[in-house]
Structure formats: structure tokens, C-alpha cells
Structure 1
Amino acid sequence: MTVSPTSSGPLTLLRHRLFWPVVILVALLLLNVVFTDHFFSIEVKEGHLYGSLIDIVRFGAPLILVALGMTLVIATSGIDLSVGSVVAISGALACLQISDLGDQDSVGGVLGAAGVALLLSLVLGAWNGVLVAAVGIQPIIATLILMVAGRGLAQLITGGQIITVNSSPYKLIGGGYWLTLPFGIIIVLVVLALTAFLTRRLALGLLIRSVGGNAEASRLAGIGARGVVITVYTFCALCAGIAGLMISSNVSSADGNNAGLWIELDAILAVVIGGTPLSGGRFSLGGTVLGALIIQTLTTTIYSIGVPPETTLLFKALVVTVVCLLQSPAFRAKVVRRRRPAGVSPVAEEKVRVHA
């Protein structure tokens, strides 16, 4: 009896790149049930949805946004270490302008402040893209420059102080509700839908994969590789700028020193957990969202089970390491030493893995 490399079954399921991340996410959610009463319950209070699951998505919304932008950058064989600084700059600039308004509840004033902050984010992203695509600086170095300088720029904008605002329209972005859902979740859904449309229904996704697979071959084939690279870095910064508005809005203040600190590392982890290789050439938006949810659920779990604060980062790193190891076919083959089904050649087995 032979097994088709494209046949469905337990083998194909186990080899799917999202199988183990889903298992880990479900395990973390079930672990929370032990320590939190009514963890899975969702109720409506004053026309708004409340519950632990809603909170996980709401608090994870900024990370999901940053990770979506990071996914496209990594798909081009790049990396963006500056997203945390862009988060801080965006929130700081928006809060500074709102604090100078005569009426902080002015919708037009808040929209103008948010628009200027996002415009600056676009400029910063384009700057990264130009350094990488036109100047030829390695992505890790080009974005490291903005990572360091951007944090200083955020400090200059805030004057080294925490800027507080009292604006109901601005509070809506990260801490408000609309149509019973947290507004941040709605923003994430819109950005995700737009990103999926641009990369799946249009040629952008194919161009990104082509550039990430072989930039020189793409150029010789007539693809504007430089334009694609600049576009993805600009989009990544835009996502970080929106996340910066959400984070500062949620606490009604801007902290140029701590806002978005290390979010770039969580974003990279979310992308990798979601099955997007750092070598580029392919990507998974759904996997990235799943990876971000795992990281946010892990943070919630840490607080639920009472992990000491001094060991929080170590615990988090341990769980992420386990997820990455479980995703590795080579690691699973060495540890589990599964027997190959009769009649399946090594080539056919590899095709099953690639197809999954």
C-alpha cells in the first residue's frame, strides 16, 4: 500500500506548520482555566463584550499589528528592529499635539494629531526601505540605526517626560468600544483584511515572495525589487505607528522611553512561531496572528499562575523555545524517531512536509 504525498491524514496534520502552535495555544488556554474561574466565559456589560479571551485579543492587538508588518519585511529576507522606536515616536507625537489642543475632545484635532503621527511613521519606514534597497545597507544595521536614534527622537518629543492627555476620542483608539467590540480589535481586523487582500488577491504577495526567494533573479525578471522592499518597510512602520497610537491611547499618556520597548523581539518571535522562515521567500499572515496570540496568552498565563516577576522573561523564553523545537521537523525526527510508512520513499515524505 502506497501513500500519496498529498493525501490527507494524521501524518499531514502533524507536519502542518501551524499544528504545534495551535496545540501550544490550546494548552495555554486550558492551563488558565485551572487558575482563573470562568476563563472561557464571555458576557455583555453595558453593551460591551467582556471576558478573559476578549482581553487577550485586545491587549495583543498592538503586537498583532506590528507582527503583520514584520511578516512582510521578513518575507523579503529583511528584518526591522526599529518598530519599537516607531511605536514610541507615534504615540509621543500624537499625545504632544493633543495636549496642546484647546479642546482635547475635538474629533478633528485628534484625527489631525493621529494623521501627523502616522505620516511621520510612513516617512521613517520609507527611510528604512531606502537604506536597505537603494543604499544597500544590511537590514539589521539600517533598522538598528533608527532603533537607537528613534528612541532618542521620542525622548526629544516628550522632553524626557511622560505626556498625559484627557481626550475621549483618542481614548477610543486603544481603550474604547464600538459595536460591542474593543475598538483595537476592529482596527486589527481591518488591517488584517486589507493586508490579506493586497497579498492574496493582488500581485503584491507574489512579488514579495519572489524578492525574498531571490532578489537578483527577480530584478532580472523585470520585478522592481527596490520598490517592493521600500513598500514593505513603509507598511511595517505604518503598522507600528498605529500600534503606538493604540498603546498610548489605552493609558492616555506617552512614554518615549518605555513605550514599545522590546516589542520588535516579540513581533519577530510571533512571525517565526507562525511559520514564516527568516530566510524569506514565503509567509503566513494567519500563522503570524496565531503566534502573536500565543505570546499574549503566555503573558496572561504568567500572571495567572503567579510566576515570580524576576523569572518572567526566562519562563517566556522557555515556552517559545519549546514551540520552535516542536515546529522543527529535524528535531522531531531525532527525538521521536518516527518510522516511515511502508511504501513511502524519502522523496515522497519530503513532499508531504513541503505540501503541509
Structure 2
Amino acid sequence: MSRVKTAFRTPWFWALVGIAVLLLINTVKNPAYLALSVNPTTGQLTGNVLDILRVSAPIIMIALGMTFVIATEGIDLSVGSMMAVGGAVAMQTLSTINDPTSVGAMFAAIGLALALAIVLGAINGLLVAVVGLQPFISTLIMMMAARGIARVITDGQNTNATNEPFRQLANGQILGLPTSFVIAIAIVVVIALFMRRTALGLMIESIGINPHASRLAGIRPRPILFGVYILSAALASVGGLFSVSEVMTVSVSGTGNLMELDAILAVVIGGTSLAGGKFSILGSTIGALLIATLNKTVLFLGIPAAATPAFKALVIIVLVLLQSERVRSFAFGRGKSPGAPATPVKPEDQTAPVSKEKEVVA
């Protein structure tokens, strides 16, 4: 019973509930929604669930990087533009080499995209950690600058390329699962082990909780801030690679557009506080899966584009309310909610009894 209560208090538990409810709604509309089949042409598994996993890979990447930035009491509004930069570099590189079967061209495209993202992430870190600008302002500047860099790289045109190894990043499968999703989960596991097996995770949390106290404890905030913004930019670039490899085209205005909002929502739904401090890598991953499921549900239900933001907002508001201990206590009648005022003390009870020792002294 205690485990059930603990699960109810876990933010990402309600994200799992949200995913289950959305899948149930889709299944009610189409009983074969969760069915899997084999494509006779490619021999690969196909199905709506695999599509959700495929589109979740870029969101997982940007949400993972955003998790550590938010844990330091910051925010990175440039992740969507970083996706565009990564996709632009990759497509431009592949179109220049123009070898449809070259594995070397694929690695060159990935390497150049990551290199530029690291440089731009370091600039974000410089503006925040050294110059002292607010993360919101610094990354807002980079959001506009990076989108402009993507336009310069592609001459302002949508760029496509042909390279089968690169295309397999999103369209291939490993053990029946989309390659991009498997790679994304592998990256999540590696980073989670690194953060929790070393002191880096604790140092990131300490900076978010109290940067002055952490500095007095011997923790240097600047290198850590540099690291988290570089990591966020690099992971966003990987997300951009996943996005463009699915269609082998980069849209300088469409790739990564407003994805920073999905990343922030995924992190918050997963239980990481915007006030900084504790973070949840598992929660952010599940939150990203929820956002991907929600996006697919919107398309599947045929909700008009004008009403899509309202529908997404409604689902997210319900989930956030379910995460609130006070709301759950009120809804399920489990007694007084946390933070409720205590029973008022009567004036006559506020007078402390006079001890015998004081009586003697008096």
C-alpha cells in the first residue's frame, strides 16, 4: 500500500497515466490502433506505437538537455533553433559530398553538426556564467542567432540530400524498434549513469538550490554552467539530426520550430522544478513520450489546427493538477491537504503554564 501511495506522489507516474489514457482514447476510435504489422517491402514492423516512439526521439533529446539547464535554475530557449542548425549542417554536408551510400559522409555530417552546436552552446554558457546575463535573455538571443545561422548555411532554402546510412537513423530499426529511439534511450542511460555515478549530478543540483552556498562548499559554478549549456546544445543538435533524417530535408523555418516549449513541458511534467535543484532524468524521458503521444493523438483525432494548442493545454493542465498533492487530497478525500492552515489556537490556550520554579522565584 505504501508503494502505491509513493507512486501517486511521483510526478512521472501521472505522465504514464496520461499516455495510457491517450492510447485508450485512440483505441476506442480505432480498435486496431495498437496493432503492429510487417511491411512486405522493407520487412520492418509498422504501427502507430512505433511512429510515436520515432517522433519521441528528438523530444527526448531536447528534454534531456533542458533538464540539466533547468536544474541550475536556468532555461534554454535556443534548443529549437539548435535543432535547425544541426539539421542544416547535416543536409548541407551530405548534399555537398553527394554520395548516397557513404558512411563517411554520414559521420562527417554528424560531426560537423555537433561541433557547431558545441560552439554555440559554449557561447550560451559564456553569456550566462561569465557575462552574467539572465539565461532567458542569453538563450533568447541565441534562439534568433542560431536560426539565422541555419539560414546562412542553407542560403535560406530548404535543403535535401540523399544518403541511405543517414536516413536509417530515423527510418531504420533495431530489434523492431526505431533506430533513433534506441539511440536516444542509449544516450539517456549513459548520461544518467554519468550524472548519478559521479558527483556532477549533485553539483548541478546544488547550484540550482543555492549557488552561493555551493560556491562556499568549494563548487565552481562557471565550469558546470558551461557544461550544461554545451550539453543542451549538443543534444538539441542530435534531436535535429533525428528530425531531418526522417524526411532527409531541413526546413530552416520549420525544423525545431517551438520545440523549446515541448522540451520545457516534458521536463516540468516529469517532475523537475523550474525553480532549480532536484532533477529527474526518467521523468523528463516519460514527459517527452507523453508529448509525442499527445502530438500524435491530436493528428489521429483530426483536431483542427486552430484548436490544437487548446487541446494540448487542457491535457497538460489536467496532468499538472494531478501532480499537485493538494489537488489530489481534495479530489480523493484523503484528509487535510498539505499546507492547509492548522487548527486555530484559542486565546486562552496561548498562555503558557507557569512552572513551579518560576512560582518559587516570584
Residue 305 of structure 1 corresponds to 301
Secondary structure of the 1:105 match is: coil
> What are the ranges of 5 or more consecutive residues in structure 2 without an aligned counterpart?
342-362
Code of the aligned partner of 1:281: G
- d(CA) in 2 for partners of 1:182 and 1:11? 35
Code of the aligned partner of 1:53: V
Residue 176 of structure 1 pairs with residue 172 of structure 2 = yes
Checking the alignment, whether the CA contact within 8 Å between 1:158 and 1:255 is kept in structure 2 is no
Deviation at 1:287, TM superposition (A): 0.7
Mapping of residues 98-117 of structure 1, within 5 Å = 98-117=94-113
Residue 193 of structure 1 corresponds to 189
Tell me how large the CA RMSD over aligned residues is. Answer: 2.1
Secondary structure of the 1:269 match is: helix
Residue 154 of structure 1 pairs with residue 150 of structure 2 = yes
> What are the ranges of 5 or more consecutive residues in structure 1 without an aligned counterpart?
1-6, 348-356
Residue 274 of structure 1 pairs with residue 273 of structure 2 = no
Checking the alignment, whether the CA contact within 8 Å between 2:98 and 2:161 is kept in structure 1 is no
Q: 46, 49, 54: which one pairs with 2:50?
A: 54
TM-score of the superposed pair, with normalisation by structure 1: 0.90
Residue 29 of structure 1 corresponds to 23
Secondary structure of the 2:322 match is: helix
Tell me which moved more, 175-184 or 19-28: 175-184
| Identity across the alignment (%) | 45
- d(CA) in 2 for partners of 1:33 and 1:169? 34
Deviation at 1:184, TM superposition (A): 0.3
Residue 39 of structure 1 pairs with residue 61 of structure 2 = no
Larger radius of gyration: 2
Deviation at 1:346, TM superposition (A): 8.6
Residue 4 of structure 1 corresponds to none
Checking the alignment, whether the CA contact within 8 Å between 2:53 and 2:178 is kept in structure 1 is no
User: Per-residue displacement from partner, 1:184-232 (whole Å, max 9, x unpaired)?
Assistant: 0121121111111111111111111111111111111111211111111
Secondary structure of the 2:45 match is: strand
Code of the aligned partner of 1:42: L
Deviation at 1:340, TM superposition (A): 4.7
- d(CA) in 2 for partners of 1:27 and 1:255? 33
TM-score of the superposed pair, with normalisation by structure 2: 0.88
Residue 10 of structure 2 corresponds to 16
- d(CA) in 2 for partners of 1:113 and 1:56? 26
Checking the alignment, whether the CA contact within 8 Å between 1:35 and 1:304 is kept in structure 2 is no
Checking the alignment, whether the CA contact within 8 Å between 1:20 and 1:327 is kept in structure 2 is yes
Mapping of residues 1-356 of structure 1, within 5 Å = 8=2, 10-45=4-39, 46-333=42-329, 338-340=334-336
Residue 359 of structure 2 corresponds to none
- d(CA) in 1 for partners of 2:141 and 2:160? 28
Deviation at 1:47, TM superposition (A): 4.5
- d(CA) in 1 for partners of 2:169 and 2:251? 17
CA 1:97–1:217 in structure 2 vs 1: closer, same or farther (change >3 Å)? same
- d(CA) in 2 for partners of 1:305 and 1:263? 22
- d(CA) in 1 for partners of 2:306 and 2:260? 21
- d(CA) in 2 for partners of 1:324 and 1:296? 17
- d(CA) in 1 for partners of 2:161 and 2:12? 41
Tell me which moved more, 297-306 or 173-182: 173-182
Deviation at 1:337, TM superposition (A): 5.3
